């Protein structure tokens, strides 16, 4: 039986083993030798001791400092996986969830129980497909999740494009989460680095209204089976399949928005193309009003930066079909 990402998750392999509950209420995260090449501190603007950002929340979080093995490895991997975007990240701070209190200890044990259950479901000693993944959240959302766990009032906002659940990005692809991170009044953005039980993942099509696995065979969703950029953990699994272990906060330079805009421009097609307003106008001659209303809605969502250009294209392809799109584009080119 094949699973998404059967290869070891990089953070899982390089840094962490499964969490162990101690009577003190904390979690042990064993470390391995860090041998990978990384972005230097001088390039990232991250150096020296702990950066004194405004207090997030004091309930069960401790701030890690430079020199702590978990802090240094997460920092280096986060920045190196951002590539040239890393120079826009400043004042990075990492806090660790100590799972303090009876409630968090219960959630931690629940996560471990579901992990074992997933292994059994996958064939005895099977692969539960546990990954580390990034989740963007506002400051208020992070505080609510740290205090109360995931829920209706502490659910990071997403576009809803891939159904009802929490969207996370793989640990080696933090760019998607960074794009969705919203700055607070002090200019600080927040990401949660979570351990996630994915089990067997199924492909979720753009525009899906799914809120749970489509069958007992599946456990989670992805946007792409071969190279996922989004993990989808359904709303039914929020507090059993996601464990927020670290809170990463940072400031970004004023050029970050321009950098992301440049990335979108670099993706502009060199083959024949048509603007979205012109495409919508042309498609209205062939598609029913219900489909056109949805396409128009998703175009507005794209303009409001709720969904990416790629997601918008996938939705239009789903509603119109490639044959019609090709015909419309070719027709516009001849005109």
The pLDDT of residue 305: 75
Provide the strand spans (E) within 253-310. Answer: none
Could you tell me the residue ranges of all domains in the chain?
61-265, 276-332
pLDDT category, 14, cuts 50, 70, 90? low
The pLDDT of residue 332: 67
Q: Is the pLDDT at 301 greater than 70, yes or no? A: yes
Q: How many CB atoms lie within 10 A of CB 150?
A: 25
The C-alpha atoms of residue 82 and residue 67 are separated, in whole angstroms, by 21
Mean pLDDT for 201-207 is 87
CATH fold for domain 61-265: Phosphoenolpyruvate Carboxykinase; domain 3 (3.90.228)
- Assess contact for 1 and 122: CB atoms under 8 A: yes
| Residue 304, Cβ density class (10 Å: 0-12 exposed, 13-18 middle, ≥19 buried) | exposed
Q: Is the pLDDT at 16 greater than 50, yes or no? A: no
pLDDT category, 315, cuts 50, 70, 90? confident
Mean pLDDT for 103-118 is 92
Residues 6+ apart with CB under 8 A from 308: 179, 302
The pLDDT of residue 244: 94
The C-alpha atoms of residue 81 and residue 39 are separated, in whole angstroms, by 9
């Amino acid at each position: 039986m094949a699973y998404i990402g059967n290869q070891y998750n990089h953070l899982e392999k390089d840094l962490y083993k499964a969490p162990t509950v101690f009577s003190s209420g904390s979690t042990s995260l064993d470390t391995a030798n860090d041998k990978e090449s990384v972005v230097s501190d001088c390039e990232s603007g991250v150096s020296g001791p702990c950066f004194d950002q405004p207090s997030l929340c004091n309930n069960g979080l401790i701030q890690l400092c430079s020199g702590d093995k978990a802090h240094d490895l997460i920092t280096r991997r986060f920045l190196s996986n951002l590539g040239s975007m890393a120079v826009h990240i400043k004042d990075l701070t990492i806090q660790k969830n100590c799972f303090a209190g009876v409630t968090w200890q219960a959630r931690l044990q629940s996560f471990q129980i579901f992990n074992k259950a997933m292994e059994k479901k996958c064939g005895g000693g099977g692969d539960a497909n546990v990954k580390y993944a990034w989740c963007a959240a506002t400051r208020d959302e992070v505080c609510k999740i740290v205090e109360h766990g995931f829920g209706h009032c502490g659910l990071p906002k997403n576009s809803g494009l891939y159904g009802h659940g929490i969207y996370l990005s793989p640990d080696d692809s933090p760019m998607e989460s960074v794009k969705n991170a919203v700055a607070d009044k002090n200019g600080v953005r927040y990401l949660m680095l979570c351990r996630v039980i994915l089990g067997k993942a199924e492909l979720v099509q753009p525009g899906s209204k799914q809120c749970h696995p489509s069958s007992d065979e599946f456990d989670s969703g992805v946007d792409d089976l071969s190279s996922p950029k989004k993990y989808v953990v359904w709303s039914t699994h929020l507090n059993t399949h996601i464990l927020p272990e670290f809170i990463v906060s940072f400031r970004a330079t004023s050029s970050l928005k321009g950098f992301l805009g440049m990335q979108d421009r670099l993706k502009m097609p060199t083959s024949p193309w048509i603007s979205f307003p012109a495409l919508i106008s042309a498609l209205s001659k062939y598609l029913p009003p219900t489909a056109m209303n949805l396409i128009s809605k998703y175009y507005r969502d794209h303009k409001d930066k709720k969904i990416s250009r790629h997601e918008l294209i996938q939705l239009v392809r789903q509603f119109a079909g490639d044959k019609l799109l090709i015909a419309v584009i070719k027709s516009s080119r001849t005109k």
